[in-house]
Amino acid sequence: MWHVERSYPQGKSDLEFVGKYNEKFAGLRWVIEFKYYSNTKFKELKTSIEKFELLEVDTLQIKGYVEGLKQEYPEAKISQFVIYCFGNQGFRVFEVPDV
């Protein structure tokens, strides 16, 4: 099951996958935040997709959503990801550690 743009006090998450309560994935949740750079903006960064690093501002954003989710479902096992899309050049996925 999934949620799109689920609201939290800190904003709206882009995408969440939710394990159904009666199946083997019960209690699992994946929170995913998408960030898009146009080809022009990506070129201005003067880096490659492989060298692009997870930005702290994006980490803080998704952690805010996860804090709201933990308050609602304290027993859930939550994984969090930021996916950067770079125009038509490609993408990079980062798993954000739960600290």
Longest dimension (CA), the chain: 48
Q: CA-CA distance, 46 to 73, in Å (whole number)?
A: 41
pLDDT of residue 9: 77
Identify the band that residue 99 occupies on the pLDDT scale cut at 50, 70 and 90. Answer: low
With a cut of 70, say whether residue 70 has pLDDT above it: yes
The string of pLDDT tens digits covering residues 76-87 is 899 999 999 999
Band (5; pLDDT cuts 50, 70, 90): confident
| CATH number where 62 lies | 3.40.1350.10
3-state secondary structure at position 34: strand
Give per-residue pLDDT as tens, 9-64.
788 888 898 888 888 888 899 999 999 999 999 999 999 999 999 999 999 999 99
Number of structural domains (the chain) is 1
Range of the domain at 72: 2-96
Dist. CA 39–CA 24, nearest whole Å: 40
